[in-house]
């Protein structure tokens, strides 16, 4: 049992909004809020010698998760980890080279899924991190877990690395949908278990990151984004019906409304390209939304930042709203600009 179970939900504004309650001033957190823009994070990462070493050391990962809560008092803490923990647990080797993106070996573009041997115990440090953070968070702070959505995770598993257009994965999905479907199914099954275990360790709400959802045609989006996310939501709700699920299909554009209706998620995250006025009009009435400040506006600061914040607040004034960025915070973001946004949102 984790430390926050005795706290009345009414003290957790973020959790309440994700469950459909409207707040006059939205709660807030920022994607990638525990990261390289913070000097305390850079110091700890240098000490640990790399990302994976940091993410798999529960005490260090817990410390990173807590750093932005101590500094800024955000309404939500997001677990410090990575979406590629699931492919690592499915049996691919994961590495983060200096100055490079992540690498997964062997890439499934030319190796069968059956060649992998799952190692689910690789996820055990994550659950321990959750337990440590849950025991240390302020009573009013909502604890958010996450996983990558199957399509986005599959793009890394197939190509072995990130790519600009996800061509290798999109081609495989067209060429051999049965083989690609087995990869999606394996990710889906592991993700349900992974998120359920996070919740059992102390997580209160989860987010599904689909960073590359925008690269798919409408029919492929239905098959490889909406359907597997709906399966995850159904599987997770069967085990933990009270834990809200935020879906974040970056780049979905006009397909966002279908995603919101068909996946069963409790809330939808909006990237910075989505017009908040359009979203308020097109998304299901009363559905909580999260977003969607441009991370570059946060870097720019000044009047441009103030106006961007005000536009978002005005658009969602009558809807349950979690203020956030439209994607992860950039490592070059001035801390003073983060403080300015917090002040403006909270009035």
Catalytic: which of 37, 41, 75, 156? Answer: 156
Rounded (10°) CA dihedral 262, 274, 149, 296: -170
pLDDT in the model for residue 16: 98
Q: Are 52 and 87 in contact (CB under 8 A)?
A: no
What is d(CA 102, CA 85) in angstroms, rounded to the nearest whole number? 11
Tell me whether residue 261 is one of the annotated catalytic residues: no
**Domain containing 250: what range?**
9-83+129-145+184-346
State CA 59 to chain mean position distance: 21
pLDDT in the model for residue 2: 41
Q: Which DSSP category does 59 fall into?
A: H
What is d(CA 238, CA 184) in angstroms, rounded to the nearest whole number? 20
What is d(CA 136, CA 10) in angstroms, rounded to the nearest whole number? 19
Task: Tell me if 178 is assigned to some domain.
Answer: no
Q: Which DSSP category does 248 fall into?
A: E
pLDDT in the model for residue 4: 43
pLDDT in the model for residue 100: 77
Q: Which residues of the chain have pLDDT under 50?
A: 1-7, 9
Strand order of the β-sheet with 76-78 is: 76-78, 142-148, 205-210, 245-249, 267-269, 289-293, 321-325
Task: Tell me if 20 is assigned to some domain.
Answer: yes
CB neighbours of residue 271 within 10 Å = 22
| Domain total in the chain | 1
Tell me whether residue 330 is one of the annotated catalytic residues: no
DSSP, residue by residue, 125-184: HHHHHHHHHHTTS-TTPEEEEEEE-HHHHHHHHHHSS--SS-HHHHHHHHH-HHHHHHHH
Task: Tell me if 121 is assigned to some domain.
Answer: no
User: DSSP 3-state assignment of 27?
Assistant: coil
Using alpha carbons, list the distances in angstroms from residue 157 to 185, 188, 207, 232, 259.
Answer: 13, 13, 20, 19, 23
Tell me whether residue 45 is one of the annotated catalytic residues: yes
- Max distance between CA atoms of the chain, in angstroms, equals 55
- pLDDT tens, residue by residue, 241-263: 999 999 999 999 999 999 999 99
CATH number (domain holding residue 339): 3.20.20.210
Task: Tell me if 257 is assigned to some domain.
Answer: yes
Task: Tell me if 51 is assigned to some domain.
Answer: yes
Task: Tell me if 91 is assigned to some domain.
Answer: no
Task: Tell me if 75 is assigned to some domain.
Answer: yes
pLDDT in the model for residue 101: 86
Q: Hey, CA dihedral for 105, 209, 242, 62, is it positive or negative?
A: positive
Tell me whether residue 36 is one of the annotated catalytic residues: yes
Catalytic: which of 37, 75, 82, 280? Answer: 82
Task: Tell me if 47 is assigned to some domain.
Answer: yes
Tell me whether residue 340 is one of the annotated catalytic residues: no
């Amino acid at each position: 049992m984790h430390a926050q179970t005795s706290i009345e939900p009414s003290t957790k504004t973020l959790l309440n909004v994700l469950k459909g309650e409207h707040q006059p001033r939205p709660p807030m957190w920022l994607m990638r809020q525990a990261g390289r823009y913070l000097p305390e994070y850079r110091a700890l990462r240098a000490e640990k010698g790399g990302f994976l070493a940091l993410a798999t050391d529960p005490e260090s990962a817990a410390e990173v998760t807590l750093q932005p809560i101590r500094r800024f008092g955000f309404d939500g803490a997001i677990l410090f980890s990575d979406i590629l923990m699931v492919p690592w647990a499915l049996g691919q080797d994961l590495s983060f080279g200096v100055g490079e993106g992540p690498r997964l070996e062997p890439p499934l573009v030319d190796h069968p899924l059956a060649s992998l041997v799952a190692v689910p115990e690789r996820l055990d440090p994550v659950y321990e991190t959750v337990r440590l953070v849950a025991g240390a968070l302020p009573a009013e702070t909502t604890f958010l877990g996450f996983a990558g959505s199957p399509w986005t995770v599959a793009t890394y598993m197939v190509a072995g690395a990130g790519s600009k257009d996800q061509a290798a994965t999109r081609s495989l999905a067209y060429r051999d949908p049965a083989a690609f479907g087995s990869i999606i199914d394996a990710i889906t099954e592991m993700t349900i278990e992974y998120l359920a275990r996070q919740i059992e360790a102390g997580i209160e709400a989860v987010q599904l990151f689909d960073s590359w959802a925008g690269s798919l045609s409408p029919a492929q989006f239905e098959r490889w984004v909406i359907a597997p996310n709906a399966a995850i939501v159904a599987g997770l709700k069967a085990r933990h019906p009270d834990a809200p699920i935020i879906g974040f299909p970056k780049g979905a554009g006009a397909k966002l409304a279908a995603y919101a209706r068909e996946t069963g998620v409790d809330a939808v995250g909006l990237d910075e390209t989505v017009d908040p006025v359009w979203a308020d009009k097109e998304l299901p009435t009363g559905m909580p939304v999260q977003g969607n400040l441009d991370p570059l506006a946060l870097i720019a600061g000044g009047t441009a930042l103030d106006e961007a914040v005000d536009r978002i607040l005005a658009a969602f004034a009558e809807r349950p709203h979690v203020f956030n960025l439209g994607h992860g915070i950039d490592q070059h973001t001035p801390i003073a600009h983060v403080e300015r946004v917090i002040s403006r949102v909270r009035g």
